[in-house]
Amino acid sequence: MAVDATLPYDDQNIFARILRGEIPARKVFEDDWALAFHDINPQSPTHILVIPKGAYVSWDDFSARASEPEISGFVRAVGHVAREAGLVAPGYRLLANTGLDSHQEVPHLHVHVFAGRPLGPLLAR
Ligand code: 5GP
């Protein structure tokens, strides 16, 4: 079900539980600012999720409230993950669903990293 990105942060959301180690995830990267792990239901041969360590509902929440170190740390982590996965030359797509119309399902900011095949048009028509 899509989530309303204007709601307060729910610390029982599935990615908060992954961050606390309560639920396993196939981790690919972790530092002070971000955690990256494989999506449980991949939509492309490579489908990695990168999340900030802080409690942010969405891109909107993060871009409004996060500190400069959190923002730079997170953005650099996304780039690092894609680079280390060898995705720069073949190319990759980033996606951050925000709110109801986007069909955001998990209310903790996550950037999808899609790659591994030609990804087609940006949006379903
Ligand atoms: P959204 O629609 O919110 O942008 O994307 C949520 C993503 O989280 C989906 O691609 C979904 O497959 C993934 N996901 C949901 N629950 C879990 C989980 O427990 N573990 C992992 N690794 N991915 C999950």
Residue-wise pLDDT tens digits, 93-107: 999 999 999 999 999
Domains of the chain: 14-115 (3.30.428.10)
pTM value is: 0.97
Question: What is the position in ligand 1's atom list of the atom closest to the CA of 38?
Answer: 22
Check if the beta carbon of residue 78 is closer than 8 Å to that of residue 94. yes
111 lines ligand 1 (CB under 6 A): no
109 lines ligand 1 (CB under 6 A): no
Considering the candidates 38, 80, 103, 110, report the single residue annotated as catalytic.
110
84 lines ligand 1 (CB under 6 A): no
b/e 72-105 (16+ beta carbons within 10 angstroms → b): ebbeebbeebbeebebeeeebeeebbbbeeeebe
Check if the beta carbon of residue 21 is closer than 8 Å to that of residue 115. no
36-78 confidence digits (pLDDT tens): 999 999 999 999 999 999 999 999 999 999 999 999 999 999 9
Asked if 110 is an active-site residue, the reply is yes
